[in-house]
């Protein structure tokens, strides 16, 4: 029996992922992300371009002290410059100076780029690639060649592309990565191009797809069946323009849908946490609709779907969310039936559709929705509603009053000061805060009052704040619905508040966030 083919997963979140809009990491962030990538089992972690700036170079010095257990950290750079020598090229020597066990060099594989970008001829371009590989192979264990714009170059001149592959193989490249740099290649074209390569005559083939046509994951998966053994991508699919191939989709696709072997397979229950951890470091709201790791990936709406889930979940889910560290969600709305409520409260006891508790929850749910509440997107607030109806709710604090005052001086930004007075644990508490607006000030004051008694509050951060006007025809007297998304860096939850006063609606959603964590993770254990 032939053993399954081992596929190497190469993460470039810390380099190519940072090319994406709104994505930025500090040096500390990069180290922490690299450690998380290593722990889950990625084979390669591309650390960045050490010749570009001091922060990039500092990463490689810092990562040496972390004693990673599995991943090989790679330094990224270009081939030698036209007309120069590999041994004296500052970029190549910056790569080697990092002391990493593998380096990745990028070479041009499209004639148009050779002529229009680096302004040389195809013979010199080939020499740049070959000499760079040969020089680097003398000083490091592995050299990976990224063939930039390979698919465009192949369509333009297949013979030119094949010569690059053969000569790079002779020079000692450990992996030839075919890059769809523009992201414009479709799956059928991938099949035709890679399927026509003399794979057995070449160094191992890898692929690197961008997602400008929405096909990066599909192209990556197709490449495996065509002989590729190395896939590059990023966490959450971040990257330049529309992003890169999403490793959070590719890894479980390989592990659960194919016979190929990947090292990360045994740790995939940590995948959702990794996705959200990286998003938190970039201060980016996680994509709720992302395959496998998004909040919606295993969410079901309406009574009929929920009824099927309770009887045969495999009919509605292609796999269990627990396999990737996600969880099933039964969404609440006006379409929710009794079976949905029974499913939602099953953890509290053996309730049936005829239980009075179920009837009470449905009545309260409809009453609140008539007032403008929406629990489909605020599962944490619904959790509290259920706990209250079942007599299981434990109140964190009770508001006596708060006082807010906003002021502006000259051309300086406006500020809001606030004090809050609470009762908690039989004590009268006071908290204060100064922020850029009333919501931030209330958040600060609430934390100021409660954190000395409940240190868990330090774990909670607000990651999103959304407001919707429910009846705009009422102008300034319109009712608003506020959603707040919170996270403790492991879990993410949403709460809702409704009022004609935006501060009151925000206060409700804010306190629900803390109350949820208190009831779900502190007192419910």
pLDDT band at 312 (very low <50, low <70, confident <90, very high): confident
Q: What percent of the chain has pLDDT over 70?
A: 95
Establish if 182 belongs to a structural domain: yes
Contacts of 476 (CB under 8 A, 6+ apart): none
Establish if 408 belongs to a structural domain: yes
Establish if 288 belongs to a structural domain: no
Establish if 260 belongs to a structural domain: yes
56 & 196 share domain: yes
User: Residue 12 in 3-state DSSP?
Assistant: coil
pLDDT band at 14 (very low <50, low <70, confident <90, very high): very high
204 & 256 share domain: yes
Domain that holds residue 334: 299-370
32 & 122 share domain: yes
Say if residues 78 and 122 touch (Cβ distance below 8 Å): no
Mean pLDDT of 240-253: 98
Which tokens sit at 517? 């964590």
277 & 304 share domain: no
Boundary of a domain, candidates 216, 251, 281: 281
Dump pLDDT digits (tens) for 17-43.
Answer: 999 999 999 898 999 999 999 999 999
Whether the pLDDT of residue 342 is over 90: the answer is: no
Burial call 179-200: b when 16+ CB within 10 Å, e when fewer:
bbbebebeeebbeebbeebebe
Whether the pLDDT of residue 196 is over 50: the answer is: yes
Count the alpha carbons within 13 Å of 387 in the hemisphere toward its beta carbon.
19
Residue 303: the pLDDT is 56
Instruction: Tell me which of 53-57, 80-84, 166-170, 185-189 is least confident.
Output: 53-57
222 & 348 share domain: no
Nearest to 458 by CA among 432, 487, 430: 487
Establish if 289 belongs to a structural domain: no
How far apart (Å, rounded) are the C-alpha atoms in residues 87 and 80?
9
How close are the terminal C-alpha atoms of the chain, in Å?
A: 48
Whether the pLDDT of residue 193 is over 50: the answer is: yes
Mean pLDDT, the chain, rounded, equals 91
Say if residues 179 and 152 touch (Cβ distance below 8 Å): no
Whether the pLDDT of residue 477 is over 80: the answer is: no
User: Residue 112 in 3-state DSSP?
Assistant: helix
CATH number for the domain including 518? 3.30.160.270
403 & 356 share domain: no
36 & 101 share domain: yes
Whether the pLDDT of residue 8 is over 90: the answer is: yes
474 & 354 share domain: no
Residue 334: the pLDDT is 47
How far apart (Å, rounded) are the C-alpha atoms in residues 450 and 245?
43
Dump pLDDT digits (tens) for 381-390.
Answer: 999 999 999 9
Whole-structure pTM value: 0.75
Say if residues 282 and 261 touch (Cβ distance below 8 Å): no
Mean pLDDT of 199-205: 97
Mean pLDDT of 485-491: 86
Q: Taking the C-alpha atoms of 343, 345, 346 and 349 in order, what is their torsion angle to the nearest 10 degrees?
A: -150
Backbone angles phi, psi at 108, to 5 degrees: -80, 135
Residue 409: the pLDDT is 79
Instruction: Tell me which of 79-83, 300-304, 489-493 is least confident.
Output: 300-304
Which tokens sit at 303? 């009574």
Residue 463: the pLDDT is 86
Boundary of a domain, candidates 247, 281, 315: 281
Select the more confidently predicted residue: 410 or 232: 232
Establish if 291 belongs to a structural domain: no
268 & 344 share domain: no
Establish if 377 belongs to a structural domain: no
Which tokens sit at 197? 């390569």
Nearest to 30 by CA among 243, 278, 259: 278
CATH number for the domain including 80? 3.20.20.70
Please tell me which of 200-209, 288-297, 476-485, 486-495 the model is most confident about, judged by mean pLDDT. 200-209
Which tokens sit at 347? 């953890």
Instruction: Tell me which of 64-73, 214-223, 311-320 is least confident.
Output: 311-320
What stretches of 280-381 adopt beta strand conformation (E)?
299-301, 329-331
How far apart (Å, rounded) are the C-alpha atoms in residues 310 and 314?
10
Say if residues 416 and 428 touch (Cβ distance below 8 Å): no
Residue 343: the pLDDT is 76
305 & 260 share domain: no
Annotate 381-429 with DSSP letters as a single string: HHHHHHHHHTT----S-EEEEEEEEEE--TTSPPEEEEEEEEEETTEEE
Mean pLDDT of 436-459: 94
Q: Cβ atoms within 10 A of the Cβ of 88, count? A: 11
Indicate the number of domains in the chain.
3
Boundary of a domain, candidates 323, 353, 370: 370
Whether the pLDDT of residue 306 is over 90: the answer is: no
Dump pLDDT digits (tens) for 94-148.
Answer: 999 999 999 999 999 999 999 999 999 999 999 999 999 999 999 999 999 999 9
29 & 127 share domain: yes
Quickly tell me which residue has 């609709």 as its tokens. Answer: 289
Establish if 389 belongs to a structural domain: no
271 & 314 share domain: no
């Amino acid at each position: 029996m032939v053993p399954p083919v081992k596929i190497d997963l190469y993460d470039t979140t810390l380099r190519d992922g940072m090319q994406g809009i709104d994505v930025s990491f500090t040096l500390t962030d990069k180290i922490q992300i690299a450690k998380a990538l290593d722990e889950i089992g990625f084979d390669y972690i591309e650390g960045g371009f050490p010749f570009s700036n001091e922060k990039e170079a500092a990463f490689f010095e810092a990562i040496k002290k972390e004693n990673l257990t599995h991943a090989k950290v790679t330094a990224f750079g270009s081939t030698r410059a036209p007309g120069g020598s590999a041994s004296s090229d500052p970029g190549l020597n910056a790569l080697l100076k990092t002391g990493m066990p593998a380096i990745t060099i990028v070479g041009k594989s499209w004639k148009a780029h050779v002529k229009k970008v680096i302004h040389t001829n195809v013979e010199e371009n080939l020499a740049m690639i070959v000499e760079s590989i040969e020089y680097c192979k003398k000083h490091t264990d592995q050299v990976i060649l990224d063939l930039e714009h390979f698919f465009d170059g192949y369509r333009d001149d297949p013979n030119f592309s094949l010569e690059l592959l053969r000569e790079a193989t002779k020079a000692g490249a450990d992996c030839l990565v075919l890059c769809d740099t523009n992201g414009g290649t479709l799956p059928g074209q991938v099949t035709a191009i890679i399927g026509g390569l003399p794979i057995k005559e070449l160094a191992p083939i890898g692929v690197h797809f961008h997602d400008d046509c929405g096909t990066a994951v599909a192209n990556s998966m197709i490449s495996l069946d065509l002989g590729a053994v190395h896939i590059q991508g990023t966490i959450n699919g971040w990257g330049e323009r529309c992003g890169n191939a999403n490793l959070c989709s590719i890894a479980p696709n390989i592990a659960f849908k194919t016979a190929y072997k990947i090292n990360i397979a045994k740790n995939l229950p940590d995948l959702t946490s990794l996705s959200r951890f990286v998003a938190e470091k970039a201060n980016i709201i996680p994509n709720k609709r992302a395959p496998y790791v998004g909040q919606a990936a295993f969410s079901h709406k309406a009574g009929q779907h929920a009824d099927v889930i309770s009887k045969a979940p495999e009919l509605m889910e292609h796999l269990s969310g627990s396999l990737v560290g996600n969880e099933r969600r039964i969404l609440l709305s006006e379409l929710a039936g009794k079976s949905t409520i029974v499913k939602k409260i099953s953890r509290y006891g053996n309730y049936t559709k005829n239980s009075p508790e179920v009837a009470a929850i449905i009545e309260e749910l409809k009453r609140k929705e008539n007032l403008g509440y929406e629990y489909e997107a605020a599962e944490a607030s619904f959790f509290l509603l259920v706990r209250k109806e079942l007599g299981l709710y434990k109140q964190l604090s009770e508001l006596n009053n708060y006082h807010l005052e906003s002021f502006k001086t000259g051309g300086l930004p406006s500020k809001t000061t606030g004090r809050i007075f609470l009762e908690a644990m039989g004590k009268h508490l006071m908290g204060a805060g100064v922020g850029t607006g009333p919501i931030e000030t209330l958040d600060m004051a609430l934390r100021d009052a409660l954190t000395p008694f409940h240190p868990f509050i330090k774990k909670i951060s607000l990651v999103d704040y959304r407001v919707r006007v429910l009846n705009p025809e009422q102008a300034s007297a319109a009712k608003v619905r506020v959603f707040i998304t919170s996270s403790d860096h492991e879990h993410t939850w949403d709460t809702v508040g409704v009022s004609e006063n935006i501060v009151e609606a925000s206060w409700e959603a804010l306190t629900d966030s803390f109350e949820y964590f208190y009831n779900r993770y502190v007192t419910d254990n």
